[in-house]
Amino acid sequence: MSQALAGDTLHRLLHAYKRALRQAYADEQLELGVAQIRTLKTIRGLSPCSASAIAQRLKWDKAQLARLLGDLDSRGLVHRRPAPDDGRRQQLTLSDAGQAMLARVDACEQRAHERLAKGLSETELAAFEALAQRLIDNLERPIPSAD
Amino acid sequence: MSQALAGDTLHRLLHAYKRALRQAYADEQLELGVAQIRTLKTIRGLSPCSASAIAQRLKWDKAQLARLLGDLDSRGLVHRRPAPDDGRRQQLTLSDAGQAMLARVDACEQRAHERLAKGLSETELAAFEALAQRLIDNLERPIPSAD
DNA sequence: ATTTATTGGTTGATAAAGTCAACCAATTGA
DNA sequence: TCAATTGGTTGACTTTATCAACCAATAAAT
DSSP states of B29-80: T----HHHHHHHHHHHH-SS--HHHHHHHHT--HHHHHHHHHHHHHTT-EEE
Q: Which CATH class is domain A11-139?
A: mainly alpha
- Which residues, listed in sequence order, are joined to residue B36 by a DSSP beta bridge? none
Residue A108 identity (one-letter amino acid):
C
State which CATH number among 1.10.10.10, 3.40.50.2300, 3.40.50.1370, 3.40.50.1100 fits the domain covering B10-140.
1.10.10.10
pLDDT at A7: 87
Tell me, what's the ipTM? 0.92
Q: What is the mean pLDDT of chain B?
A: 91
Quote the CA–CA distance of A104 and A29 in Å, as a whole number: 10
From residue A142, give the alpha-carbon distance in Å to each of A136, A139, B16. Answer: 12, 8, 12
Q: Round to whole Å and give the CA distance between B92 and B108.
A: 24
Would you state the pLDDT for residue B147?
43
Is the confidence at residue A1, as pLDDT, over 80?
no
Task: Select from A19, A41, A139 the residue whose CB has the most chain B CBs within 10 Å, as the one to mutate to test that interface.
Answer: A139
Residue to substitute from A133, A138, A141, interface B, most B β-carbons within 10 A:
A138
Phi, psi of A75, rounded to the nearest 5 degrees: -90, 0
For A20-70, the pLDDT digits (tens) are 999 999 999 999 999 999 999 999 999 899 999 999 999 999 999 999 999
Cβ-based contacts with strand D at under 7 Å: A 33-36, 60-61, 63-64, 86-88; B 15, 18-19, 22, 50-53, 55, 62-63, 65-67, 69-70, 80, 83, 86, 88-90
Please report the pLDDT score of residue A6 as a whole number. 78
Give the mean pLDDT of B56-72: 95
Q: Which residues of B touch A136 (CB under 8 A)?
A: 9, 12-13, 16
pLDDT above 80 for B80: yes
Q: Are B115 and B108 in contact (CB under 8 A)?
A: no
Please tell me what DSSP assigns to residue A116.
H
- At A118-142, the pLDDT tens digits run 999 999 999 999 999 999 999 988 7
Res B71 pLDDT > 80:
yes
- For B109-128, the pLDDT digits (tens) are 998 899 999 999 999 999 99
Burial of A61 (0-12, 13-18, 19+ CB in 10 A): exposed
Q: Where are the domains of chain A?
A: 11-139
Beta strands B78-83 and A86-94 are: unpaired
pLDDT above 50 for A147:
no
**Helix (H) / strand (E) containing B21:** helix B7-27
